[in-house]
Amino acid sequence: MSILVDENTTFMIQGITGREAVNMTRECLDYGSQVVAGVTPGRGGRDVYGVPVYDTVREAVAKHHVDGSVLTVPPAFARDAAFEAIENGVKLLVIVTERIPRGEVAQVIELARMRGARVIGPNCLGIISPGKAKMGGIGGPAADTRKAYQPGPVGVMSRSGGMTTEIANALTAAGLGESTAVSIGGDAIIGSSYAELMPLFEADEETKAIVIYSEPGGPMEAQLADYVRQKERAGRPADLRPRLPIVAFMAGRFMDAMPGMRFGHAGTIVEGRQDTAAEKVRRLEEAGIAVAEEIEAIPALVKERI
């Protein structure tokens, strides 16, 4: 099993005729993903590596079964593209685009919740279920993706797209492998946080542990720690308690000496003590989440806890 995507998942790429999207299309197809359509207004009737291009999402979904969409459109058009996908029944959006205004991201997330859709990103590389499918640019070319990602029992979530692959590579080299890896996005406002994705991993019988990559800034680690603690409260039925051990790697600890500094992502602005690496590590460990000092230590911590 896996979460979000598998070998049967069909998706389109909005903005498919852009240079980066063309490369992404080739990489996804080479990996075996079912890219069934693309959308670029004014480019209808063309194709990208055999994938038909349409002017609108409505045309694409009328001719193909579409489970999800990867959005690679420029920031100025991202909200409208997301609205178009959601209003035409697409239930999974992977938004690769960076620098979308926060207010517009919030509007997309709100509409998605109203329509029962899920958003991954923005500013993310996507999702992969090794050996089944990948949705987005995660892992890069298919040959590189197959080296870094192998089927296994560990779910991976990361705010950094590149570090998603670094963690997966360490797990694969240690003989573990991944059930699903999700690059959730590095912006301050994103569609799916660690805590929001945890129930999906908990429901996946093949997932035996979770690894997350974290940075200073933002509330997601505190939300994950609260999720774990709430599910472990005394008196909760056993089937509601978390069954998955979690290992975290916290980057950017040097930022604790530089308040107000931004590290890599828009979501890593440290606005107070609660956003520092030290405070996040404390909260995670208090919730029973192991924190690795370095990436190379992650596999051993996972093996201890499976």
Mean residue pLDDT of the chain comes to: 91
pLDDT number for residue 93: 98
| pLDDT at residue 254 tops 50 | no
pLDDT number for residue 119: 98
Which of 165, 171, 232, 175 shows the shortest CA–CA distance to 198? 232
Q: Is 265 a catalytic residue?
A: yes
Rounded CA-CA distance 303/245 in Å is 10
Rounded CA-CA distance 272/154 in Å is 32
Rounded CA-CA distance 41/63 in Å is 16
Catalytic entry in 265, 270, 277, 299: 265
CATH class, 10-305 region: alpha beta
Contacts of 68 (CB under 8 A, 6+ apart): 5, 9, 10, 11, 12, 90, 91, 92, 93, 94, 135
Rounded CA-CA distance 253/208 in Å is 28
Mean pLDDT of 195-199: 97
pLDDT number for residue 262: 54
Rounded CA-CA distance 72/18 in Å is 8
Mean pLDDT of 225-241: 71
Residue 248 confidence class, pLDDT cut points 50, 70, 90: very high
More confident residue, 134 or 269: 134
Rounded CA-CA distance 255/278 in Å is 10
Which percentage of the chain shows pLDDT scores above 90?
Answer: 82
Checking DSSP bridges between strand 133-135 and strand 47-48, what pairing results, if any? Answer: unpaired
Is the distance from CB of 244 to CB of 208 less than 8 angstroms?
yes
Residue 236 confidence class, pLDDT cut points 50, 70, 90: low
pLDDT number for residue 231: 80
pLDDT number for residue 276: 82
pLDDT number for residue 256: 47
First to last CA, the chain: 18
Rounded CA-CA distance 245/217 in Å is 23
pLDDT number for residue 238: 52
pLDDT number for residue 261: 55
More confident residue, 155 or 235: 155
Mean pLDDT of 154-170: 96
| pLDDT at residue 29 tops 80 | yes
pLDDT number for residue 201: 97
User: Two tokens at 239?
Assistant: 């089937």
Which percentage of the chain shows pLDDT scores above 70?
Answer: 89
